[in-house]
Amino acid sequence: MHVGEVPTDVPLVRRLLEQQLPHWASLPVAAVASAGTDHAMYRLGDARAVRLPRIDWAVAAVAHEQRWLPWLAPRLPLAVPLPLAAGQPGAGYPYPWSVVRWLPGVLPRVGALADAPRLAHELARFLVALHRLPVADAPPAGRTIAQRDADVQAALAQLHALGLADVAPLAQCWQAARGIAAHGGAPVWIHGDIAPGNLLLVDDTLSAVIDWSGCGVGDPADDARIAWNLLPATARPAFRAALGLDAAAWARGRALAFSQALLQWPYYHQTNPTLAANARHVIAEVLRDVPG
């Protein structure tokens, strides 16, 4: 998916385990099919997973998750992939890596939610608990609308050059988003990438939240992006009310979802069809939802 991506496979994972974690080397190893972009995942036996950065800019997430997930896990109402071991470069692989707890479940499917209002409630309950955690010593997370502007303008130019979209309404929507008031309150703990691919359901109930590489303290509106990534329009008002977001924060969340989708669509349109399709879905939902 990326220029300079490091390839991984089952034999590599076995070599790493044999060299560094031999007590797990005899366990079955299987690649996990995923639309994730930063890490390759391999299931290790029944209870563990090996998580390997694909690209250099994902490497910092290893130490970040090793540091913060053990602190977050006991304070949250849903399961997170607790780190079990930290691996080092070796066997021809250049990056640090992790073994984490395997969490069962299936990904929610946009447009095929068994009970969207219930899932909206479960998501809001989890995010409220996260946003209320103490922020002392926590790292910053998230990017503001202003900080995303240059990248969005470049993505709009790419979409035009590739002939993927009529960019005029997209540019108009983004221009309006640039005028939304910035977050003026205290920063809160955020996940930083609440998306369909980072949620797990068991029996149609939200059971776990995964991929915490972007977590830290920032604008609570950042986590509202899931309203356009996954939830249908009918479930959004209750989700917003449960999160307690005012009009400006809700508009920021929508703008942040829009910007992320604009970046993802041209970048992944050939290499990650699942993510590109979700990006197109988000853009369509935002355009239908913006005032006027």
Domain that holds residue 65: 10-101
Does residue 20 fall inside a structural domain? yes
Query: How many separate domains does the chain show?
Result: 2
Query: How does pLDDT run across 127-174, given as a tens digit for each residue?
Result: 999 999 999 999 999 999 999 999 999 999 999 999 999 999 999 999
d(CA 150, CA 1): 22
138/203 same-domain check? yes
Amino acid at 245: L
d(CA 68, CA 135): 12
Query: How does pLDDT run across 41-95, given as a tens digit for each residue?
Result: 999 999 999 999 999 999 999 999 999 999 999 999 999 999 999 999 999 999 9
| CB 279, CB 258: distance < 8 Å | no
Q: Where a domain ends, among 73, 101, 129?
A: 101
Domain CATH number, residue 211: 3.90.1200.10
Provide the CB-side half-sphere exposure for 124 (13 A, CA): 19
**Predicted TM-score (pTM) of this structure:** 0.94
d(CA 26, CA 60): 29
183/229 same-domain check? yes
